[in-house]
Homo-oligomer: A and B are copies of this chain.
Amino acid sequence: MEDLARAAGTHKSNFYHHFPGGKPELLRRGLARGLDALDAVFEEEPATRGPAAERLRYILRRAVEVEFDLLPEVALLLRLRGNSEIELHALERRRELTRRLTDVVVAAMNEGGIRSDLDPHLVARLLLGVETSMTEWLRRDGPADARSIADAMLTLAFDGLNP
């Protein structure tokens, strides 16, 4: 909290004065921002219509963009342990995200848009794992932009490494 107040150019006491709720509320809001942004992707028009395989591609691409925009918040989602009510609630929301992604994977399999010989829940977890693990090395000022990273990620996920 000392470091945060310093970064904001003030003191801890002033920070608490202007920000009721303290550390737990800070965590709650950060997690909510990341989760809301990822939830919102599923509500975007291209994520709700058309072939499920295309919706899946869209969602994965937009998720990379969200990570670029909300890097600290999404990074929090990678580090949840469930050590408090706030973390438990965020974990449940993260699981709900996995379920929504799984639903799209299942739909794409049923439509024949993607291969159907893999466990859809496992596929969703692996895809979400690639996404969230990016927060470890993504930098908004890094050499690659969101689009090129999403391109590579989608090529890897859909076309595979085989030549």
Listed in ascending order, the chain A residues whose CB lies under 8 Å from chain B are 53, 78-79, 108, 112-119, 122-123, 125-126, 128-130, 132-134, 136-137, 144, 149, 152-153, 155-163
Known: A156-B157, A158-B162. A129 touches B123 (CB 8 A): no
In the complex, the count of this chain's copies comes to 2
CB proximity of A117 to chain B, nearest CB, Å: 8
Q: What are the 5 tightest A-B residue pairs by CB atom distance, in nearest-first order?
A: A129-B133, A160-B160, A114-B161, A159-B160, A133-B133
- Smallest CB gap from A112: residue in B: B163
19 A-B pairs whose Cβ atoms sit less than 8 Å apart in the complex: A53-B161, A78-B78, A114-B163, A115-B161, A119-B152, A122-B152, A123-B156, A123-B161, A126-B130, A126-B133, A126-B134, A128-B133, A130-B130, A156-B157, A156-B160, A157-B160, A157-B161, A158-B161, A160-B160
Question: Are A144 and B122 neighbours in the complex by a CB distance under 8 Å?
Answer: yes
CB proximity of A17 to chain B, nearest CB, Å: 28
Question: Are B113 and A156 neighbours in the complex by a CB distance under 8 Å?
Answer: no
Across the interface, A114 reaches (CB within 8 A) one of B53, B123, B162, namely B162
CB proximity of A148 to chain B, nearest CB, Å: 8
CB proximity of A103 to chain B, nearest CB, Å: 15
